[in-house]
Amino acid sequence: MATLYVVDMDDTLLRTNTRVRVTRVDGTTVRYNSQQYKSYVRQPGDQVDYSEFTDPERLMLTSKPVKRVVAWMRALVLGPGSRLVIVTGRESTIGIGWIVAALAKHGVVVRLRDVFAVGTATLGTVPELKAGLVVNLSRSYDRVEMVDDSVANLDAFLTTMRRVCPSVTATAVHVDQLGQMRPYHTAPNN
């Protein structure tokens, strides 16, 4: 069975000391991790800076492997016609080569052409952009499995696949904060 594996990077394979910086009107700066940033409420005058996410040095120097997921990926044997791609919500301006190098540092070997960086806030949300890319990639596979720490990404993937590619089996695996992998199912009414 030809399977496409779609694996996220941040907080799925690697954890980094990367934060969104918010500078307030009074000049103070707060750094939010992606979990905290979800509940951030923008105040008038706030300046939001995502530049740490496009800083290759920070990615190379601060990344630590999520051991269980890295071990799963290294042990994965791709059958004939199967493929594994890394799909990150980071912007491609970080340079795909840096992503390949940071993963290689932790023993995850991927080719340049199997890494996609979809983040560009002007075109849509990361879950939408990831789901759209995966639908396009999935057409020549019987099965697509997405591994991601973001429930929003998994929900968008499962619902979009069900709607647009109902003949391809879509399965999802959630990676929790401890790096544990568990099958994930979207509520049927989603």
Interacting residue ranges for Mg ion, rule: CB under 5 A: 8, 10-11, 149
Q: C-beta of 97: minimal distance to Mg ion in Å? A: 20
Distance in Å, CB of 34 to Mg ion, minimum = 7
- How far is 178 from 138, CA to CA, in rounded Å? 29
Cα distances (Å, whole numbers) of residue 146 to 92, 182, 184: 20, 11, 10
Q: Minimum distance between the CB of residue 13 and Mg ion, rounded to whole angstroms?
A: 9
Q: How far is the CB of 73 from Mg ion (least distance, A)?
A: 14
Q: How far apart are CA 28 and CA 118, in angstroms?
A: 31
Half-sphere exposure of 78 (CA within 13 A, CB side): 17
Q: Which is nearer to Mg ion, 8 or 145 (CB)?
A: 8
Nearer to Mg ion, 168 or 179 (CB): 179
CB atoms within 10 A of CB 165: 17
